[in-house]
Amino acid sequence: MELLSPRRIQLSIFPIVVLLSTIAWSASAANSANNTFLHCLINHSDPSHPITPAIFTPNNASFSSVLDAYVRNLRFNTSTTRKPFLIITALHASHIQASIICAQTYKLQMKIRSGGHNYEGVSYVAEVPFFILDMFNLRTIEVDIANETAWVEAGATLGEVYYGIANKSKIHGFPAGVCPTVGVGGHISGGGYGNMMRKYGLSVDNVVDAQMVDVQGRLLDRKSMGEDLFWAITGGGGSSFGVVLAYKLKLVRVPEIVTVFQVSRTLEQNATDIVYSWQHVAPTIDNNLFIRLILDVVNGTQNGTKTVRASFVAQYLGDSKSLVSLLNEKFPLLGLKQSDCIETSWLRSVLFWTNINITTPVEVLLDRQPQSHVNFLKRKSDYVQKPISKEGFKGIWEKMIELEDTLFQFNPYGGRMAEIPSTEKPFPHRAGNLWKLQYQANWNQPGKEVTDHYINLTRKLHKYMTPFVSKNPREAFYNYQDLDLGINHNGKNSYPEGRVYGEEYFKDNFNRLVEIKTKVDPDNFFRNEQSIPTLPNLKS
């Protein structure tokens, strides 16, 4: 492939025409817009790359399958879920440019989707008439081993990125998320992380350039967008600032052999002591080791009893022999044995983390449909900054057993994460954080009652955890999008609503994001339920 040159496509700056303003946000906007909007799209795209094959209206037989193809939360796959009036499956940068220009002309809400893994469906659902700019066709990956870099387009999945790197080198990798179907566009723009975080930091700590289309339809690279905007789209969420076309990654070194393990201990097997010890070990141990802790509720050995199970899932950038001796010294309570360890390649370790048998051919990573069943789900997050006492854990176990159908994932920080200043990227949760906590509820039945029940469980557990987690603000991870933290209606003054969730996700970096947003998109075209707000427009 040839990567798009920022200079190759140039569109004139299109004035924001206040046409149809009275019907904006009403259902009729979709209908009255469809013809004129379609014409506008055609008018504004590069004739040598026709846009019509990329446009799906509800009349098209493939419309539903295109829409469903990247739905990753069944809560947003129901008959009452608001559907877009159009999907543009961009095949070329000029299609993105035309979408941005024409959506402003006709005051239409645009949602940008890459891998569709947003936990709240924000990339493909809206409360107002909207269309989707779908990026899945733009997924070229170019790996340059000599320079240890790779250009990856936003519509690529992490599995494709990892496969593409490993296809060229056995000693290179990239420190991003563990689920292979997650999209580059949302994951990296939102500050995604994975199991090499303690060694190399976040994905965005290893991004060296980007290409994006801004509100004026200009195709920009790092140099032409400037350091502020580049900073914003490496952790502040792309969807507030523009459409990211591609990121240039700095590859990292991985050993030819890595070691993974998963061992579980219930309360009956001393899990309380082991978890208590984990929280002192996991954030301070060798940066080559990442030990995730998953807590769930399972049957006890006595009939009719419940217990908590602690599962330790680890990635070690080294061999099993040194891992076992490291853990026997630093974390003897875990009782790790050589036989618990699996040595494999870095690429195959991705299979292990996503519960695919590691003997499966690695081409499974190119599969864009998740291997596991897609569920109904809800996620929330928190940050823990002081160790929890054994008494504290005992209370948590009781609450978990009472609620039963939720689980926790603890992801240890420290290492490289604590060395990078909290202002380096919009992601602010660096030194001082022991681990990030994710709350999960997964279920299989549709219906509002069931949905409310499970969402309520995560809220109750989140409430219970208040004394143990960060406060003022109570911090949350932007990529674990949680609309419970507040919704922006993006009225004339979007700032007060935006500040509520904005400070939880970005802390002191929020204000810088708002300033950049106000400068690059003063009319708040790039908006969604939790986008970065603009400062009040002093002119109006």
Ligand X SMILES: Cc1cc2nc3c(=O)[nH]c(=O)nc-3n(C[C@H](O)[C@H](O)[C@H](O)COP(=O)(O)OP(=O)(O)OC[C@H]3O[C@@H](n4cnc5c(N)ncnc54)[C@H](O)[C@@H]3O)c2cc1C
Residues tagged active-site: 480
Q: Per rule CB under 6 A, is residue 264 in the interface with ligand NAG?
A: no
Q: Which of 269, 284, 375, 493 touches ligand NAG by CB under 6 A? A: 269
The label of the residue with tokens 């994006």 reads 212
Neighbouring C-alpha atoms within 13 Å toward the C-beta of 255:
14
Least gap, CB of 419 to ligand NAG (angstroms):
27
Choose from ligand X, ligand NAG, none: what does 68 bind? Cβ within 5-8 Å by kind: ligand NAG
Give which of ligand X, ligand NAG, none residue 432 binds (C-beta under 5 to 8 Å, depending on kind): none
> Please, what is the minimum distance in Å from the beta carbon of residue 495 to ligand NAG?
28
Closest CA to 273 of 398, 387, 386, 390: 390
Quick one: what does residue 227 bind among ligand X, ligand NAG, none, with the CB cut-off 5 to 8 Å set by partner type? none
Q: Is 59 in the site for ligand NAG (CB under 6 A)?
A: yes
Work out what residue 337 binds among ligand NAG, ligand X, none; the CB cut-off runs from 5 to 8 Å by kind: none
* Residue count, binding to ligand NAG (CB under 6 A): 36
What does 141 bind: ligand NAG, ligand X, none (CB cut-off 5 to 8 Å by kind)?
none
In the complex, the smallest distance separating the C-beta of residue 129 from ligand X, rounded to whole angstroms, is 17
Identify what 123 binds: ligand X, ligand NAG, none; CB under 5 to 8 Å per kind: ligand X
Residue of the chain from 3, 16, 19, 36 that contacts ligand NAG (CB under 6 A): 36
Residue 72: CB atoms within 10 Å: 22
Q: What is the largest CA-CA distance in the chain?
A: 73
Choices 34-42, 154-162, 234-242, 495-503 (CB under 6 A): range interacting with ligand NAG: 34-42
Minimum CB distance to ligand X, residue 238 (Å): 3
Binding to ligand NAG, residues 337-366 (CB under 6 A): 357, 359
The helix or strand, by DSSP H or E, that contains position 441, with its residue range, turns out to be strand 435-443
Backbone dihedral angles phi then psi of residue 308, each to the nearest 5 degrees: -100, 135
**Structure tokens that stand for 18 in this block:** 């206040």
**What b-and-e string marks burial along 183-213, b requiring 16 or more CB atoms within 10 Å of the CB?**
bbbbbbbbbbbbbbbbbbbbbbbbbebbbbb
Stretch that binds ligand X, among 14-22, 113-121, 421-429, 505-513 (CB under 6 A): 113-121
Query: Which of 13, 17, 21, 53 lies at the binding interface for ligand NAG (CB under 6 A)?
Result: 53
**In the bound complex, what is the minimum distance in angstroms from residue 100's beta carbon to ligand X?**
11
As a whole number of Å, the end-to-end CA separation of the chain is: 47
When binding is defined by CB under 6 A, the residue of 192, 201, 415, 426 that contacts ligand X is: 192
C-alpha–C-alpha distance, residues 125 and 42, integer Å: 25
Rank residues 112 and 161 by Cβ distance to ligand X and give the closer one: 112
Residue 120 CB, nearest distance to ligand X (Å)?
A: 9
> Which residues between 125 and 144 bind ligand X (CB under 6 A)?
135
Contact 6, 221 (CB under 8 A): yes
User: Least distance in Å: CB of 123 to ligand NAG?
Assistant: 15
CA gyration radius, the chain: 23
38 binds ligand NAG (CB under 6 A): yes
- From residue 148 to residue 177, the character string flagging contacts with ligand X as x (rule: CB under 6 A) and all else as - is ------x----------------------x
Among 54, 87, 110, 112, binds ligand X (CB under 6 A): 112
Closer CB to ligand NAG, residue 375 or residue 518? 375
- Residues 41, 105: Cα–Cα separation, whole Å: 11
Which token pair is 413? 């920080």
Contact 57, 64 (CB under 8 A): no
Is residue 71 a contact point for ligand X (CB under 6 A)? no
180: preceding bond cis by omega (within 30 degrees): no
Q: How far is the CB of 231 from ligand NAG (least distance, A)?
A: 22
Tokens of 528: 């969604």
498 binds ligand X, rule: CB under 6 A: no
Q: Which of these, 299, 295, 328, 297, lies nearest to 313 by C-alpha position? A: 295
Pinpoint the alpha helices (H) of 357-494.
Answer: 390-403, 416-419, 448-464
Whether 191 and 202 have beta carbons less than 8 Å apart is answered as yes
Is-contact 346 254, C-beta < 8 A? yes
Question: Which one of the spans 28-36, 229-237, 248-256, 503-511 is the region binding ligand NAG (CB under 6 A)?
Answer: 28-36
The rounded distance, in Å, linking the Cα atoms of 131 and 123 is 10
User: 190 is in the binding site of which of ligand NAG, ligand X, none (Cβ under 5 to 8 A by kind)?
Assistant: ligand X
- Least CB distance to ligand NAG at residue 277 (A): 12
Q: Tell whether residue 114 is a contact of ligand X (CB under 6 A).
A: yes
Beginning with the edge strand found earlier in the chain, give each strand of the sheet holding 243-250 in spatial order.
141-144, 149-153, 243-250, 207-213, 219-221
Return the residue of 44, 72, 75, 172 that touches ligand X, per CB under 6 A: 72
How far apart CA 403 and CA 456 sit, in angstroms, is 10
* Separation between Cα atoms, residue 145 and residue 46, nearest integer Å: 33
239 lies in the binding site for ligand X (CB under 6 A): yes
Nearest to 403 by CA among 444, 352, 441: 441
Handedness of CA 450, 437, 319, 258 (dihedral sign): positive
E strand or H helix that includes residue 39 = helix 28-43
Where along the sequence are the contacts to ligand X (CB under 6 A)?
A: 72, 111-119, 122-123, 135, 154, 177-179, 182-183, 185-187, 189-190, 192-194, 238-239, 243-244, 479, 528
Where along the sequence are the contacts to ligand NAG (CB under 6 A)?
A: 31, 34-36, 38-40, 43, 53, 55-57, 59-62, 68, 71, 74, 77, 144, 146-147, 167, 269-270, 299, 303-304, 357, 359, 374, 449, 452-453, 456
